Chain A
Amino acid sequence: MTCRYSTIFIFLFVLTIAANGQSSAVADSLFAAGDYTSAAVEYERCYYLATSRTNGRTALENKAQCYKRMGSFDRAAATLERYATTYDDYQQLALCQYLASDFEKAAASIVRCQALADTIGTDLLLIKTLTLNELLLYDSALSTALTLASQQMKRPAFELAHQLYTLYSTRPQAKSEQTARRLSYIPGMGHLYARQWDLGMTAFTLNAALLSFGVWQVIEGCYLTAWVGGAGLLSATYPGQMRSAEAATRQYNRQQADTFNAKARQFLLDTFAP
């Protein structure tokens, strides 16, 4: 009797293992063939059928890998979020979130990562520096980059620190949108502050022309024409150029930050990437 039950148990056990193994093999072959979309679905099936936490975790890891290969980092991050528990998981998650341009979430994952370890490695420090740059927190980014430099063995720390100080000394100083608005009381000045020369000249010329037209019509005794053609149009263009100056300043700040971040990213990756 015992022998019979043992045989049936072994038979069913082999079938279960085979079922999981087969779906995993299908997913692996699709992955190897470069069909990452289908492979991701089959790995999800492996997770769905998984009989243990380890198998489920492996399936999700592979699924996240598929999305990374597809360049779909937001989906990779969403998959990683489902199983992330360790330092390495959160580091991967932060990287995917950074690559998906979800910088706030990347910063949150870095904090969780730091909470899981006493010391943090160079990879995470590098991701953290890049993320802080994108969040325009340049002082914190420099401080993190200096920690990263102190962990480097290839080059002397003081030399790297000097290069980092030189790099971050060129970081963009954000221009104030409020100042741009205040300067725009004289039409065009706000645009000049945001280095938008052509828009500044246009705003000044247009508003000056409308004001002059209004004054000319008053002198001519055509008060209605002055009101409609001068004041009426000026009431639209004057506040409009103020808002435009604010937008131009915002755009200028973003452009400056993007340029610096690209330069910093290149330097940091060349220097610290494994």
Chain B
Amino acid sequence: MNPRLCLLLALLPLCLHAQTQPTVAQEFDFVMYLIGNGMKEEALVATHRTPLGGDSINFLKGYAHYSAQMLDTASSYFAHIAPSSPLFSEGSFYGTISESHLGHYDRALNLLHRLPEENAQERNLALFETAGIKLLQRDMQTFDSLFPLIDTSDYRLNAEVRDLLHLRTNLGSHKAKRPWVAGACSAVLPGLGKVYAGKLGEGLSAFLITGGLMATTAENYVHHGATHWMTLATGLLSAVFYVGNIYGSVATARVSLNTFNQRHDLQILYDIHIPVRAHYRR
């Protein structure tokens, strides 16, 4: 018998055994296929089941959790990628976005500081991400100093850079409604605090209800006297609505400010997320 054929046949069981375990590259492609086809839960199961380890698998686990919006876990996997890995930069960027979404801005900035300096495109992307995080922290001064350094000729950043600048202008020019002013306005004239907080309809409604109750109390006082149960009942209701309206105006001003901040934060997070995906084509 041909000795080469004998060797080949001898190797066959070994090769068959090797085939039972998928390689890291195969596992990587499979999980990316699952995520790309919207099977995020299956991707998580596949990454949990894999006996493989290493930086690629850490990235894969991080990316699967990131896709399933489990950002805390995603971030911890991205943090385990060694700086020597070719996936280190990408993992750091996705870790930055995960930490930013979680509100851990300092951790996000630390991840960006770890990035190597060699790649100009990645450096520019890191600069853009840093500026975005500074805007999330409302550190306008640092944002203004970083923004001119971003290379806007990169087509992957173009739209988001414009958007970030627009958001910066909005945040800078926004005059926050002070809750105590809203409360004071409502104390002077029921509903005025809500109008000040930008809720005209609610303000008018509060004015009519509280004003109507006060007028009713006055009418009952004139008709029946101060100790009549109708006067006391309408008076008590008026007091409850009057105080409630002051409290409501304070809350409305707070909610209005929070809503404004949340809307802008979401837009900033979206803007810093898109270029990373475009850069790494995920």
Contacts and interface: CB of A to CB of B under 8 A. Distances in A.
Nearest to A19: B19
Given A15-B15, A18-B19, A224-B212, A37 B223 contact: no
Contacts of B213: 228
7 contacts: A7-B4, A11-B8, A14-B12, A41-B45, A222-B220, A227-B212, A229-B234
Interface string B206-232: 000000110110111001000000100
Contacts of A159: none
A48 B33 contact: yes
Given A7-B5, A18-B19, 11 more contacts: A14-B12, A22-B16, A22-B19, A23-B22, A40-B42, A40-B45, A41-B42, A41-B49, A45-B22, A220-B223, A224-B218
Nearest 8 interchain pairs by C-beta: A228-B212, A224-B219, A22-B20, A19-B19, A41-B45, A228-B216, A225-B216, A18-B16
B146 interface: no
B68 to A, nearest CB: 14
Contacts of B4: 4, 7
B212 A41 contact: no
A11 B42 contact: no
Interface string A38-73: 101100110010000000000000000000000000
Query: Which label, helix, strand, loop or mixed, suits the secondary structure of the A interface?
Result: helix
Contacts of B42: 40-41, 44
Interface string A218-252: 00111111011100100000000000000000000
B46 interface: yes
Contact of B219 (A4, A26, A222): A222
A232 to B, nearest CB: 6
Interface residues of A, number: 28
Contacts, number: 64
Contacts of A41: 34, 42, 45-46, 49
B19 A15 contact: yes
Contacts of B5: 7
A20 to B, nearest CB: 9
Contact of B45 (A18, A37, A220): A37
A102 B93 CA distance: 41
A222 B33 contact: no
Interface string B4-45: 110010001001100110100000001001100001001001
B216 A229 contact: yes
Nearest to B15: A15
A48 B27 CA distance: 11
